[in-house]
Structure 1
């Protein structure tokens, strides 16, 4: 693929499924994968022979649960000791280990133990989306806009950007999922009249609510809230726990430790959840679930709603918070737009509708594709592929969490309040707390609590060389700069001496250094080459096996075996034996296998030359 695509693609990197779109012929095209599906499972699997990504990985999950990785988005940018990570590890069949305070995934690949960071697993999914678009465009793709939950923090955003770099993509912009979905909603129905739109985005693993003001092509986020750890997978987990207990009650067997049985039951639970969105009762059936025991149980929609009642109800809290933050009465919201596969659940719909007084909800956009659609539009705008439709498009987003520094007594000194429009540049003056203090440490936090220990530490830096003076007299100007990706840079300057110190928040746990990213890019290329080699070897092997079979039949057929000279036939048989030997050798290359096939072909041509 010599040509490089001038534009950029839009990728919705989801917890459970991912989707890619591109702006072509004045509209967005969502690109189907090689299986014809417009969404691709965010799954990566490793085996003794190969690496699989997407549908192929998910389809073999029950056979290979320990080496099939999903939910990387629930690990990316988090610490190993994060309570959510600990909670998830109970449900995951794969092994998560700690490395320098960050979670890493341990698998067996090509008969060796390998560890991968969540960024690397996500980069493999991004690389798959890149390949899907390259197959469609016939050109190499180098640029992308990637979406993240609006409530993702600084570490999660930067880790997602790093995943893009490892996949060989220049990430032009990280945009928030509900904002991207708002573009899908508003692009074709632009009007000069101001509209207040609430985006309710409940996906496979994350949940966001954003309130936007849309006027013409300007999409301004007024407030955002959410839960980076709530989605369809949690409903599946609750269903799984319910049926696990039921199976134990019926048979006395606890299947908790059997990764394969859990995987098969989880798949059945996911299917049941989807079915219950359109019918009121279904059956969960798994043949020979554990030690030869079949499992079959009915579940009604009402029971499913009961099992998940607490989680369903919790989706209304962020809606309330967003309206409160934006000082917007419920009846002033013009449209409530549903996004994300989990909004297909009738109970979720009825709770939202009831909250807004029985209002009709807007289901005009495809819940699975809307986010990738919006990302593709933004990708077109950023690469200058504009048209009348996108000419006046402007996205104005906000910082989802308050940002600030720790003051004396562990008090959180907010510099950028939450829901501040970004990009932004805000300053606050701090001072020394001791006489003649010449060094001040600035720990940078994000969160909404008064005490720093209840918020998240992003990193810290020191300002040295402050002239000695009585405490409280030094003026230390601290400036927080948040860019359009929601990424943060902090600077502190002493007014008297002009001394400056700064930090781009890149030194917190789990952050990759540029050297590590470089190494991971090299590794990714090697894995890609290994995948290609495996496919080529597999194809050459299949071709050779079929050819051997065909030639054996030919030389033993009654009409030919009588005519062949003994020496010539022996020559063909020797080549066949040589080829069979090559097939037996595990690491025969595709070239060696093709050469063996050519050897048989030449011997056969020689043996049959001149025969009628």
Structure 2
């Protein structure tokens, strides 16, 4: 059992479109509101010439500053620039993604008077930092430890990229937790099923802004065991928005004979309008999109019905149901033996999704008792409390058994992937295999590690490769290697190989870094993140000092309008003071941010005038 920590640990749902943070406090989980009072925060970062925004303020910049406002970065995490999904998404994003080192996608923005490149992990780190600051302001103490969630179908590279983002944000990521498992924890505690002796089969249907997961779990006696998981790390609300966006772009082209797809600002405005229309269509059957001067001074107006929206997305909706079917069939459980279907993620509010799901389960009532936007953060906070030794006895005794979503294997002869750890194997897990040389007297051997369900290696995802050199030279088949595969509790893979020879052994450990950040890059990004944080703090201090000076100027102006002051203070001094106040107010209107001491010194001058006026009017 974990030792009790004196500092709070938090749970963070790092979402594609929105993020949420929660903590265990006062014997319960509290969802923490941000500085705008909202319980979820847009996963958005905007860059301007002198400042950087994260969250609500960044989303407000999206239409004004589209090329420097970054959203949906989760879709780049752990992916290669050449990935088909990355190439497809880039066409719909208003910001620019370029090919970085090692086929890594880098985001290009204008910031502080120059073009800067950021890895996806850095942008995610900025969002995690924001969530950390939100929690610190609410809890009144510094935060170091966190549980961060990822889609269950995230692969090894995506999980490690998320952990790297946490490190850059200055967090100790205690655990990478699967989102459906976190939602199952929230359901279990909300329904009290987690402590019940009656076993329940629970299907978590998690359809968020950019990812989709289905997990089938059993819950009883404080044990939550994942049986199977399935999903798509590139399916969610963003795709439904994009379908509608493409529909409107084509409509504009048809009606006006103009293509707006290459105009970032027009595209961003239409994307925002599409998202709003989608939300409205969840509660009404028809809505309209009306944008003034969308492109080249031309207004855009279009009415869209819920039926048309459903038609545009029907293939994606059906794909969701196919994934549900695959999930419970993999577990060998009939759909009629599933006791509860729990809806998680904002996109489950779409009526057609609910209808198709209900029809598939023969009219079963879907569980909507847990908040779809907050459930994942809730479960992560419970896990954070458990790992830090906090919470009730029920939390301390909670047992979570997760599974690996994809098969892991090693390349054999004929470019065939030999599976070592099959998908849906409970984790943590360790398995060993023996490999032999295939050429007489060979001096080195290379191991290629893949994940995926295809037979041919080239059809799977290459996680990485490593070689052993100067091995024991002998006829083929005589030199053997013990290869160990280990998936830790975070779902991250470690592979090692050793060659037992007389007098010793050779060993190398693979923690896949291909296409990912090196330790040196992470260290650099940690340093830069701290520099950006200091810059942000300095900018905030300047803004506060400027606002304080402005408040003082207008307070002094109101004081001079007081009849008591007018009657007792010489008109000459009043004119002098009024001139000084007007000068400061005009200066503020045309001011570029100055150092804090400049604002404070001017404020001190006005305070002295205010004190003198007060004395004169006594």
Post-superposition offset of 1:569: 7.4
Given the superposition, is the C-alpha separation of residues 593 and 330 from structure 1 closer, same or farther in structure 2, using an over 3 Å criterion? same
Matching residue of 1:149: 151
Matching residue of 1:166: 168
- For 1:332 and 1:608, the matched residues in 2 are separated by 80
Post-superposition offset of 1:176: 0.3
1:424 paired residue among 425, 429, 435: 429
Aligned residue-pair number: 608
2:506 paired residue among 496, 500, 515: 500
SS in 1 for 2:289: strand
Post-superposition offset of 1:108: 1.1
Matching residue of 1:372: 377
Post-superposition offset of 1:572: 9.1
Post-superposition offset of 1:201: 0.7
- For 2:578 and 2:534, the matched residues in 1 are separated by 34
Matching residue of 1:27: 28
Given the superposition, is the C-alpha separation of residues 577 and 429 from structure 1 closer, same or farther in structure 2, using an over 3 Å criterion? same
Contact 2:569 2:616 in 1 (8 A): no
Q: Quote the RMSD (CA, aligned, Å).
A: 2.5
SS in 2 for 1:507: coil
1:189 paired residue among 172, 188, 193: 193
Contact 2:542 2:593 in 1 (8 A): no
Residues 471-502 of structure 1, C-alpha deviations (whole Å, 9 max, x = no match) = 01222111101100001111111233452322
TM-score when normalising by structure 2: 0.93
2:107 paired residue among 105, 108, 112: 105
Given the superposition, is the C-alpha separation of residues 323 and 582 from structure 1 closer, same or farther in structure 2, using an over 3 Å criterion? closer
SS in 1 for 2:127: helix
Post-superposition offset of 1:38: 1.0
Matching residue of 1:177: 179
Matching residue of 1:588: 594
SS in 1 for 2:501: coil
Q: Which moved more, 1:488-497 or 1:52-61?
A: 488-497
Matching residue of 1:237: 242
Post-superposition offset of 1:94: 0.3
- For 2:613 and 2:247, the matched residues in 1 are separated by 69
Contact 1:575 1:596 in 2 (8 A): no
SS in 1 for 2:261: coil
Post-superposition offset of 1:342: 0.8
Contact 2:443 2:470 in 1 (8 A): yes
Given the superposition, is the C-alpha separation of residues 550 and 215 from structure 1 closer, same or farther in structure 2, using an over 3 Å criterion? closer
SS in 2 for 1:28: strand
SS in 2 for 1:595: helix
Is the aligned partner of 1:470 residue 2:472? no
SS in 1 for 2:401: strand
Contact 2:94 2:264 in 1 (8 A): yes
Is the aligned partner of 1:15 residue 2:54? no
1:522 paired residue among 524, 527, 542: 527
Contact 1:44 1:69 in 2 (8 A): yes
Matching residue of 2:301: 296
5+ residue gaps, structure 2, are none
Is the aligned partner of 1:85 residue 2:80? no
Matching residue of 2:65: 64
Residues 3-48 of structure 1, C-alpha deviations (whole Å, 9 max, x = no match) = x962310110000001111112222111111222111110111111
Given the superposition, is the C-alpha separation of residues 574 and 464 from structure 1 closer, same or farther in structure 2, using an over 3 Å criterion? same
Is the aligned partner of 1:220 residue 2:221? no
Q: Which moved more, 1:349-358 or 1:429-438?
A: 349-358
Q: Which moved more, 1:304-313 or 1:581-590?
A: 581-590
Is the aligned partner of 1:601 residue 2:601? no
Is the aligned partner of 1:121 residue 2:126? no
Contact 2:244 2:274 in 1 (8 A): yes
